[in-house]
Amino acid sequence: MFNIDGIVKALQSDKNLQKNVMTGAAGLAAGMLLSGGKLGKLVGSTAKVGAVAAIGSLAWQAWQNYQKNQPGAPSSSQDAFVPPPQASYQTEELGKTLVRAMIAAAKADGQIDAEEKDRIFKRLETMQLTAEEKAFVFDELSSPLDIDAVVARADTPEHAAEIYAASLVAMVPDTPTERAYLETLSTKLNLAPALVAEIHRTAGLESSMPANIAEAYTPTSNV
């Protein structure tokens, strides 16, 4: 089984890489979010959470808030966001999808050039990943940014929300280019603006909402 947390941790182990890839996901993948932290409260556990569970829980909480505040919004279950322990294949595939989304988001501002990629590859060669896992990361980092390929992995509305959440925490957007990427992504994923707003709010990134989302956003009192 693919070690998804190991892959994301590996991508976080290099200080320079942290500035360009998965800045916001550092806490998710490195297991730094405990029960006292925002995502720890979402999963309701005193244990450290993995990247897939953390992102899934973020999207699940946002979906619940969205449903409460939008009459007629579709309902969903937590299992649709965080596969149960026995569903190892589903967890692995979802993990790959989220890592792809994260890496794509990190490319959105165009800061990962050929020289940077080469340095990243050399660094990854020294890390505790299998050959298959390294190849997966190499391929994703080497491929051109393709937002349609990211969107194509959204096989359910819940996974679409998770892809957006993973992309958001991967970049912690603070540039117009990154926010434009998120705006395009949310449109292509067919996510309701109110749901996107809840994902930003739940992640503690309200100030980074794309303009079209901020205009439609009505703050809520949910925690």
Asked if residue 189 lies in contact with residue 181, where contact means CB atoms within 8 angstroms, the answer is no
- Cβ-based neighbours of 152, under 8 Å, separated by 6 or more: none
Of the candidates 139, 133, 145, which has an alpha carbon nearest to the alpha carbon of residue 171?
145
How far is residue 12's CA from residue 163's CA, in Å, rounded to a whole number?
19
C-beta contacts of 214-219 below 8 A and 24+ residues apart: 217/193, 218/69, 218/194
CA end-to-end distance (rounded Å), the chain = 35
pTM to 2 decimal places: 0.81
How far is residue 74's CA from residue 103's CA, in Å, rounded to a whole number?
29
Q: What is the pLDDT along the chain (223 residues), one digit of tens a residue?
A: 677 777 776 665 545 444 444 444 433 433 333 233 333 343 343 234 577 888 888 899 999 999 998 888 788 888 899 888 778 888 889 989 988 998 888 888 776 777 767 777 777 777 777 888 888 888 888 888 999 999 999 999 999 999 999 888 877 787 888 899 999 999 999 999 999 999 998 888 888 887 777 776 655 544 4
Asked if residue 94 lies in contact with residue 159, where contact means CB atoms within 8 angstroms, the answer is yes
User: For position 43, what pLDDT does the model report?
Assistant: 38
Of the candidates 53, 49, 73, 51, which has an alpha carbon nearest to the alpha carbon of residue 63?
73
How far is residue 64's CA from residue 61's CA, in Å, rounded to a whole number?
5
C-beta contacts of 127-133 below 8 A and 24+ residues apart: 127/10, 127/13, 128/6, 128/10, 129/3, 129/6, 129/7, 129/10, 130/3, 132/2, 133/2, 133/3, 133/6, 133/7
Of the candidates 82, 119, 111, which has an alpha carbon nearest to the alpha carbon of residue 173?
111
